[in-house]
Structure formats: C-alpha cells, structure tokens
C-alpha cells in the first residue's frame, strides 16, 4: 500500500466492483472519462475486466481509498511500454463528495511516485478532453505539461471536441517535489 496524507493506493479488490459500477454510472465520469460512448459499464463488464486484470501481471490497477478505508476512486496503468519506459494512465475520483478537494492530485502524485520510483518509468503521458478543465488543473498541479492538441478528436453530443496530450518526465516530477 502507498500511503499519503489523506489517501492511500492499494490493489483493486473484487469487493470494489459494486461501488465501481455505481461510480462509473455517474455523468461526471461518463462525460469526462470515456473516449468511446459515454455509456456506463455494467456489473458484468466490470467483473470481466476485473478477471482479466487480476491475471495481468502488468495491470497495475489501484484503488484510491480515504484514510477510513473507503474506496473513492481508481488509477490504472494503460499502454505500458517497457522498451521506451513510458505509460498512459486513467484516473477518476468516483465518489462525488471527494471531487475538487485535492484528493485526485494527492492520489496522482502517489501514483506517479510508484510509476517513476518503483516501475522505473521515464515519462508518463495522458490525453484529456480540453473541456475537462478540472482534470487539466489537477494534472497541471501534478506537474504535467501540454505536448499538443489533437483537434476535433472526440465526437460527443453532436459536436467534435479537442483532446489534449500532456506528459511529465521523471526529472520534472522530482523537481516539482523538492
Ligand atoms: C479529474 C479528477 C481525477 C481530479 O481529481 P479531484 O480530486 O477532483 O482534483 P483536485 O481537487 O485535486 O484538483 C482539481 C482542481 O480543479 C479545480 N476545478 C474544479 N472545477 C473546475 C472547473 N470547472 N474549471 C477549472 N478548474 C476547476 C479545483 O478547484 C482544483 O484546483 P485548485 O486546487 O487549484 O483549487 C476528478 O475530478 C474526476 O474523477 N473527474 C471525473 C473523471 C475525470 O475527468 N477523469 C480524468 C479523465 S482525463
């Protein structure tokens, strides 16, 4: 377990699925988190996902919990590239009572510390919809910089929206934490 001041990161457990189904049905998550359809996954889908990922040695899927042990969100490695030592990731704070209160930033810093100082990665990358100002702000607070804009990448509600690429290197992360 990786311990912060207000949150811990621990491996996902089967018991988390019930709350994950509820969290991922929230519009705030479906609108901002999913690149495909903004439809929520069903319990069956999340159980299948849990099955694959619990057998995947390189899955690195963490539950974010508060200090009382309540599961409030998740962060997951995606498209880990050992040769280039880079990865993408996904993060959400599923419990609405815990959004915009600094929990996401603290969890992400713990996660970045794991990626750089346990997995030995060199660079961490992400894509975020430009309309998701809260997530962009959270990423900036963690030290991510904008690499560029993929114009009109996402089709949502009858319109195309831009998607922003951001990244942080290990050196940038360490400088930000001195
Ligand atoms: C993105 C997310 C993980 C961030 O976690 P969080 O705990 O809410 O973020 P934090 O509180 O650490 O930081 C958010 C910052 O954005 C600010 N913010 C909130 N709403 C905002 C808005 N509409 N516009 C601009 N900034 C906003 C907050 O005030 C805070 O900044 P501050 O500390 O300078 O005041 C979380 O909000 C979430 O799960 N959102 C839905 C799913 C999602 O968007 N996932 C990311 C997909 S790329």
Decide which of 33 and 106 is more confident: 106
Is 166 a pocket residue for ligand 1 (Cβ < 6 Å)?
A: no
Residue 108: which domain range? 2-176
| CA 115 centroid distance within chain | 12
Rounded CA-CA distance 136/141 in Å is 9
Q: Mean pLDDT of all residues in the chain?
A: 94
pLDDT (mean) for 53-64: 85
DSSP string of 42-64, one letter each residue: PHHHHHHHHHHHHH-TT--EEEE
State the pLDDT confidence band at 40, using cuts at 50, 70 and 90. Answer: confident
146 pLDDT above the threshold of 80 = yes
Which of 20, 137, 166 has most ligand 1 atoms within 8 Å of CB, for mutation? 137
How many helices, marked H, and strands, marked E, lie in the chain? Answer: 6, 8
Q: How confident is the model at residue 118 (pLDDT cuts 50, 70, 90)?
A: very high
**Closest ligand 1 atom to 126 CA:** 48
Query: 100 C-alpha to center of ligand 1: Å?
Result: 5
Look at residue 38 and tell me whether its pLDDT is greater than 90: no
What is the total count of domains within the chain?
A: 1
CB–CB of 115/124 below 8 Å? yes
Residue 28 alpha carbon, nearest atom of ligand 1:
41
The token duo for 2 is 């990786």
Look at residue 54 and tell me whether its pLDDT is greater than 90: no
CA-nearest residue for atom 16, ligand 1, is: 134
- pLDDT computed for residue 161 by the predictor: 96
Ligand 1 atom closest to 103 (CA): 7
pTM of the model: 0.96
131 Cα–ligand 1 center, Å: 12
Domain CATH code at residue 16: 3.40.630.30
């Amino acid at each position: 377990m990786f311990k912060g001041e207000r949150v811990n990161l621990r491996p996902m457990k089967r018991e988390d699925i019930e709350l994950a189904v509820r969290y991922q049905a929230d519009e705030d998550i479906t609108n901002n988190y999913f690149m495909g359809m903004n439809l929520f996954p069903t319990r069956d889908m999340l159980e299948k996902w849990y099955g694959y990922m619990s057998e995947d040695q390189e899955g690195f899927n963490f539950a974010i919990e508060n200090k009382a042990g309540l599961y409030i969100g998740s962060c997951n490695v995606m498209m880990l590239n050992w040769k280039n030592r880079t990865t993408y990731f996904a993060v959400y704070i599923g419990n609405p009572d815990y959004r915009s209160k600094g929990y996401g930033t603290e969890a992400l810093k713990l996660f970045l510390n794991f990626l750089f100082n346990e997995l030995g990665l060199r660079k961490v990358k992400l894509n975020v919809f430009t309309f998701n100002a809260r997530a962009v702000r959270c990423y900036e607070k963690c030290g991510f910089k904008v690499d560029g804009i993929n114009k009109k990448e996402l089709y949502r509600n009858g319109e195309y929206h831009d998607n922003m690429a951001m990244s942080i290197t290990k050196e940038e992360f360490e400088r930000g934490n001195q």
